[in-house]
Each structure stands twice: as C-alpha cells, then as structure tokens.
C-alpha cells in the first residue's frame, strides 16, 4: 500500500527532518512539500494534488496548522509536527492521527505512521472523496473565504492585486501574484491566456483572432505569448 505524503512547514530545516524519516519508510510516497500553508491547502482542495497523509506544522504565519486542519475537514489524515507541545489538546480532531514534537523520535514517528496505515486500510472512504472542487482566498488577515471553482469566470491581475470575477457579482480582490494562482488551479479547468488573465475554460463561448469570448458578454484579449497555446488547446478538444 502506497501512502501519498505532503509536508507543510514554514521552516526548511523542519521539512528536512520529516523528509529524512519519511524516506526510511518504503510505502510512504513523498509527493512534495510546501512552506506556505494556504498554498498547500488550495492544492489539496482544488484537486491539483492527491494526498493521503499530511505532516503539518502548527505554528506558521498567515494561517496556522490548526486552521488549515479545520478547513481541510476529513479530506486527508494529519500528523501534526511542532516544537510546542501545548498545542496538542487543540490539535486532535477527527482527521488527526498523532501529534509529534520536534525533534521527532523515530520510534514515535513509526507508531504514528502505523496508525495512519490502519486508518487508511479500514476507512479508505475517509480520504478519497468526490467533493466539489474549490479554493480558499485570503481577503484580509482574518477573512479567509471558500470559493467554488465553478463560480470563477476569469481572474485578472491589476495593480499587484487579483480580481476574481464571479459571474455578475462584484469581483473578489486578493493580494496575490497571478503566478501563485496558476499553481493552485487545476489545468483541466483553467488556462492562462495573457500575462494578466486566467480563464475558466467552461465559460468560453468562442475564440476570434486574438480575443476570447466568455459567457455574460465578456471579451478578453489573448496575449501574443499565449495565443499559440490557446489555439492548440482548443483544437485538441
């Protein structure tokens, strides 16, 4: 049984410590790591990556591990890894397998992995859901909201901010680079067509010259760098 593992920690030495232990267990398939908790969260809930087991730090900037765990729900099993034992009581939820303190005891690590293995074997439905795909966007330090991918028509980069255009509603404004948004959106549904635009492929009604037409009479320009890729994509559909 192969268990897909993601490590989330804002400190690289913390990632290195967990990585060393993970690589000693043949059935643990390390698919990657993230230093930003919101990016990791969105890659999971948007379907960019498929994860069985998350090694998650608690004390992180912007969004801590406890909040990330809450937003993930029961999509993935979690082993918390932190330097601060006082978080242990708050950390135990339905998806929590164990709580390990740094530096990690290899014996305790293996016991935690065994618990995760047993959970995945006896209740595989806990993890592999067919839930609707979505992302979380940080509108302000204390305002993180859930946005269904199907609701996004297109995303526009403007003045170091992003506008998420949700149908005819007022755009959601997020302080984030467009490249970061590309990383967390599934390529089967979204495509970058310009240095300033990402579109939802489901809402495209036509392509004429260097313009893409979307539902609701939206017209966007295709950048010269992207136009060949756009036409190649639609010829293959």
- What tens digit of pLDDT does each residue of 112-144 get? 999 999 999 876 544 444 456 899 998 887 789
DSSP classification of residue 203: G
HSE, side-chain direction, 13 A CA sphere, residue 145: 10
Q: For residue 128, what pLDDT is reported?
A: 47
Domains and CATH numbers, the chain: 3-126 (3.40.50.2300), 138-235 (2.40.50.1020)
> What is the per-residue pLDDT across 62-88, written as a single tens digit (0 to 9) for each?
899 999 999 998 889 999 998 876 655
> What is the per-residue pLDDT across 44-66, written as a single tens digit (0 to 9) for each?
999 999 999 999 999 998 899 99
Q: Which residues contact 114 (CB under 8 A, 6 or more apart)?
A: none
Taken in order 38, 40, 41, 42, is the CA torsion positive or negative? positive
Cα–Cα distance list, 107 to 4, 87, 103, 114 (Å): 21, 21, 12, 11
HSE, side-chain direction, 13 A CA sphere, residue 121: 8
């Amino acid at each position: 049984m192969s268990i897909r593992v993601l490590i989330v920690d804002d400190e690289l030495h913390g990632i290195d410590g967990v990585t060393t232990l993970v690589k000693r267990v043949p059935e643990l398939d390390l698919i990657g790591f993230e230093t930003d908790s919101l990016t990791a969260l969105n890659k999971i809930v948007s379907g960019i990556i498929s994860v069985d087991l998350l090694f998650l730090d608690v004390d992180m900037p912007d969004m801590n591990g406890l909040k990330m765990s809450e937003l993930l729900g029961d999509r993935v099993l979690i082993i918390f890894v932190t330097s601060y034992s006082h978080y242990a009581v708050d950390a135990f939820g339905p998806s929590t397998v164990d709580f390990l303190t740094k530096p990690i005891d290899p014996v305790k690590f293996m016991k935690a992995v065994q618990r995760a293995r047993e959970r995945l074997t006896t209740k595989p439905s806990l993890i592999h859901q067919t839930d609707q795909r979505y992302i979380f966007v940080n509108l302000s330090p204390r305002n993180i909201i859930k946005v269904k991918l199907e609701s996004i028509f297109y995303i526009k980069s403007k003045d170091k901010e992003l506008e998420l255009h949700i149908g005819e509603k007022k755009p959601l404004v997020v302080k984030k680079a467009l490249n970061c948004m590309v990383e967390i959106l599934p390529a089967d549904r979204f495509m970058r067509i310009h240095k300033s635009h990402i579109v939802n492929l489901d809402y495209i009604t036509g392509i004429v010259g260097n313009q893409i037409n979307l539902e609701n009479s939206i017209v966007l320009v295709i950048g010269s760098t992207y136009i060949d890729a756009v036409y190649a994509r639609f010829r293959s559909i």
